[in-house]
């Protein structure tokens, strides 16, 4: 993720040992005792990475609990984002005097079912993907970027944002994307950002996206 975010954002990507790391008691209390092994591993790696990233900002030993919507509760003066997909986990944090919100997301580079593609992409986005024959995984890039948009929107605005309420434009050569929010959503959200800009990277097995909203 370091290659997708500015230098003042601290980023940590999980090593194998982090999936078997230790949770602080306050963090463990937010993990359901009925959680399956894969959920426990992901949750643990995310918290371990987030605390390590916070440590790079000088915030040490602070438990990262969860809000009612399961989003991480970041220590005062910081903001951040956690992502995990099969075999991959990362966390990114920054200080709020510099950054209002940060969002990261990682997804496996896979061909999504038609019904899932339609639930994520607007018709014009599906048309754009269809014009790239042999690269049927581009809807997964849209999915990843729109997940980032939601991770920025939620802490800033405090409301739900549907996939179809953000229209994505990708610059393949530059590895960048722009998301424009549906004007009808903005009418209901005074002061909300109308646009988000981010970056993406496509590897043989992984799609990563990230963005920040500067202070």
Q: Please enumerate, by residue number, every residue annotated as part of a binding site.
A: 39, 47, 83-84, 105-107, 147, 151, 161
Tokens of 24: 């602080």
Point out the annotated binding site for CoA. Answer: 39, 47, 83-84, 105, 147, 151, 161
| 188 Rama class: left (phi>0) / alpha (psi -120 to 50) / beta | alpha
Tokens of 123: 């018709």
Classify 122 as helix, strand or coil.
coil
CA dihedral 4, 10, 15, 19 (to 10 degrees): -110
| Chain centre distance of CA 31 | 20
Point out the annotated binding site for Mg(2+). Answer: 105-107
Q: Where are the beta strands (DSSP E) in 86-205?
A: 88-95, 99-108, 166-171, 176-181, 195-202
């Amino acid at each position: 993720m370091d290659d997708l975010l500015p230098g003042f954002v601290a980023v940590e990507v999980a090593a194998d040992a982090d999936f078997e790391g230790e949770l602080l008691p306050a963090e463990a209390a937010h993990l359901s005792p009925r959680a399956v092994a894969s959920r426990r591993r992901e949750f643990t790696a995310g918290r371990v990475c987030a605390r390590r990233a916070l440590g790079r900002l000088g915030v040490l030993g602070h438990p990262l609990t969860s809000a009612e919507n399961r989003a991480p509760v970041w220590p005062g003066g910081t903001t951040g984002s956690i992502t995990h997909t099969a075999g991959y986990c990362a966390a990114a944090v920054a200080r709020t005097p510099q950054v209002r919100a940060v969002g990261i997301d990682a997804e496996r580079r896979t061909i999504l079912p038609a019904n899932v593609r339609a639930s994520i992409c607007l018709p014009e986005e599906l048309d754009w993907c269809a014009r790239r024959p042999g690269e049927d995984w581009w809807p997964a890039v849209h999915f990843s970027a729109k997940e980032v948009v939601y991770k920025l929107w939620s802490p800033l605005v405090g409301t739900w944002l549907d996939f179809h309420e953000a229209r994505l434009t990708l610059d393949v050569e530059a590895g960048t994307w722009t998301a424009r929010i549906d004007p009808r959503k903005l009418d209901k959200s005074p002061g909300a950002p109308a646009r988000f800009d981010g970056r993406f990277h496509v590897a043989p097995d992984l799609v990563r996206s990230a963005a920040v909203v500067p202070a």
